[in-house]
Structure 1
Amino acid sequence: MRKSNYFLKTRKETPSDATLISHKLMIRTSMIKQTTSGIYAWLPLGLKVLKKIENIIRDVQNLFGCQEILMPTIQQSDLWKKTGRYNDYGPEMLKFLDRNKKELLYGPTNEELITNIFKDYVNSYKDLPKNLYQIQWKFRDEIRPRFGIMRCREFLMKDNYSFDLTADAAKKSYDNMFKCYLKTFQSMGLRAIPVKADSGAIGGDMSHEFHIISESGDTKIIYDKKIDTLKDLTSESSYKILRNIHSVTEEKYDESDCSIKKNDIVIKKGIEVGHIFFFGTKYSSSLNTYVLDKNGKKINVEMGSYGIGVSRLVAAIIESSHDKDGIIWPKEVSPFDIGLINLNPKDKKLTKISDNLYLTLKKNNKDVLYDDTFESPGNKFADMDLIGIPNQIIIGKRNVENNNLEIKNRKKK
C-alpha cells in the first residue's frame, strides 16, 4: 500500500483524554476513531491488526477441533429469564423493546443462546462431544468506559462453548481449550500466563484467566517464579506444570493455601486477554438441554465456555510492546510486514528504484507500507517508528550511490 493513498493521518500531539499508552498510540496512528462514549470505529490500520489476530484465533480454534458458527448480536429475553440472569446481570446489559413490545437485549455473552441452539440439533450421546465458537461483537454498558478499547462498551470477542456427556469428559474439553489458549497467544508472539480466577457472572466452579504481563495491567497476579523459566508454554511438559502449579489472581490468593515458597513468589500486574470456565449443568439444567445416554436416560449436558477479547488484545499487545517512539508490533500481528521509505520522491532515479523494490516485494507476497510521500525524512522516520512495523527498508541518495539498502529492525533500533 502506498502511504500517499492510504487512509492514514498520524498525529504528533497526544489526545488529552487518553491515559493508557495504547489509547494514545491507537489514536495517534489513526487505528481507531471514537464515535461516542466507549464505542469506536476501526480504521484501515487498526482493522488490519484486528483481522490478523482474528485469523490466528480462528486457525488455532479449528486446529483444536472447534467449529465456527455465527450467532446474532440481538437476543430474546425469555432464555435469560429461565436461567435467572436477566435481572442478575445488572445494568451492563442493554435491554430494549421492539415495535411489538417484545423484550430484547444486546448480548453481552451467549451461554443461553448457544445452549438453546444446541438442544434443537443434538439429542444423543453419540453426537458428543461438541465445541462451537464464534467471533462476534458484544455490548456491555459500562458505567464509565475508559482506557480506549481496553474497557469500552462495544468489543469484538471470540467465545466458544463445549458440550459433553460427563463431568470428566467436560474437564478434558476444558484442558483441551487450556492448551488451545496457550497455542493461540504464542502464535501471536505473546506470552500469556494462566492463573486461577473467580467465575463472576458466568458461574461455575473452575476457571482460568490468561494474562499478558504489563505495568499498566489492572489485575495483580501471583505465581511461582518457575513459570518464568518455561521457554515454550505450549510444550506438553510446560502444560503439565502450568495446569498444576500455584498461580492465581489477587482476589483468589489465600496465604494459608499458597504452596509457593516465600522467596519464589512473583507478584506482577497483568492484562486479562482470555478467560475459560467450566460450569457443569448450570445452563443445560435451566434450559432443559439433555441428550439420551446408551440406556435411553435423559442426561443434562456438561458445559464450558471460553472467551478471548479480540479487540482488547490489540491494546494489550501495544501496552506490552512499545517504546518512547511508538508501537513495536510482534511480526505475527503487525499490520504490514515491511515499511519501505523513499527519502526523496522528487529524485526520479531514487523513485524508480523504490517503486521497483515495492513491486518486487509485493510479488513475493510481502505486505508493504510504502512511504512515497513528500514529507521530510525526519517525519517519515518518526511515522514509521510510531506505526511500529517490525522491519523497515530505507532508500536515500547515498544508498543509491553506494548500491546498498539500509534495513532497520524496529525492535533493535
Structure 2
Amino acid sequence: MSSVSPTPAGPALALQAGRAPLKPLDQALAELLNCAALLPGFETVSTFDADGRVLVQDLVSSLDVPAHDNSSMDGYAVRIADVSADAVLQVNQRIPAGSSGQFLVPGSAARIFTGAPIPPGADAVVMQEDCEVVDSGVRIKAQPQLGQWIRRRGEDVASGAVVLRRGERLTPASLGLAASIGFDKLQVAPRVRVALFSTGDELVMPGEVAPADMKPGAIYNSNRFFLRALLLRLGCTVTDLGIVPDRLDATIAALQGASEQHDLILTSGGVSVGEEDHIKPAVQALGELALWQIAMKPGKPFAYGKIAGSHFIGLPGNPVSSFVTFLVLVRPFLLKLQGAVETAIRPTSAVAHFNWPKADKRREFLRVRRNAAGGLELFSNQSSGVLTSAVWGDGVIDNPAGQTIAHGDVVQFIPFSALMS
C-alpha cells in the first residue's frame, strides 16, 4: 500500500456546498499536486551551498571517473606472470597518488599507494599486508588474481553519462558526485517564498506571557515553531507574519499583503466553519478556495486556494493535525513547486508490538517508535492535541481506514527522518 503517493487526479478543485463526504487522502494529494506548477526561473549557486535544492539541469560528465586505472590499496603493482610461490621482485619505482609510473618491466614491482595510476604492464595490485620487504625487493606471499585491487577507468562515471538528472533533490552525496565531474556551481530551482501566520485570539507567544500569567483559555502558539522549522528544512524562505486576530478585516489584510510577494501563504487554524473561523470568507473575498474534509486522522480540516498569484494552504489548528497534514500534503506540494520528480515517501514494512482493536473510518497516522526488538511501540495517547507523541515517536504507521492492528501484524511504517528531510 502506498502511503503518501497520489493516485491519478480526480475532478478539478471546487468548493462544495453542504456536508460533502470525506475526501480520500490520495485523491486530495493528487488534486493538490495538480495545482503545483514549477516556479519560473532558476538560481545559480555554489555546489557547496546546494544541499537540499532541486536541480533544473541535467549534469553530464565530460570525463571518466576515475580518469585512469588506479590502485584501491597501498601495496605493490605486479605482473601476475612474474608471481610464483615466495617470489621476490625488484622494486624499481614508487608511485604515490598524483603522479604516474613507468612501464613495469618483467620481474619487477612498483611500490604503489591508494589512488595512484596503475603503471603500464601491471595487471594486479598486492596489498602491503601480503608482502614482505627484503633488501631492495619485495616477497609476494599471496598469489594475486587478474585485476585485483585495481579500480578501472570510468567504473564510477563514464564520459558523456548523465550523472544527476533535472528534478533530483540534491543530497550531500550528490554534491560530492557533482564536484567529482567538475561542477563548482549548479542551476537549481528558486526557493519557495512562504508567508506563515496563525489565527486565533487564544494564541500567545512564549516569552511574551509567563505561564503564571496566562489567561483562561489561552495557549502558547506551538504550531508557528514547528511549521517554520519544517519550511526551512525544505529550503523555503519564510516570512513569519505572527498571529492574526480573529477578525475578518485583519485576516483579509494579512492575506492580501502576503499574496503580493510570496508563492505560498500557509496558515494554521481557522479553516473550520465556526463563527470565529475567518479564513474561508477572507480567501473567498480575495480569490478562490477549496475547503476539504479529508478522510485522515489526525488532520481532517484542510483548505487550498489561490489569491492573486499565490497559493494558499490552510492547516488545522490542533498541533498534531497541523504537523501530520504538513508532512503528508504540504511537503510534497512544496517539492513539486521546486520541480522535484520524486515527492512521495515509500513506507517500509514493520511489525506492530501493540494492539489497536478499534478501526476508524478514516486513514490513520499513528505515532510510534521502534523498540530494542525492532518492533513498533504505540504512543499511549493518539489525540490530535498531544504534540508529545510526535517527539516521543520516530515515525508513523500509515493505517488504512477500517483496519485493526493485532500484536505481530505487519504494518506500513514511515520514519519522521524521511518525512522531515
Give the TM-score normalised by the residue count of structure 1.
0.23
Give the TM-score normalised by the residue count of structure 2.
0.23
Report the structure, 1 or 2, having the larger helix content: 1
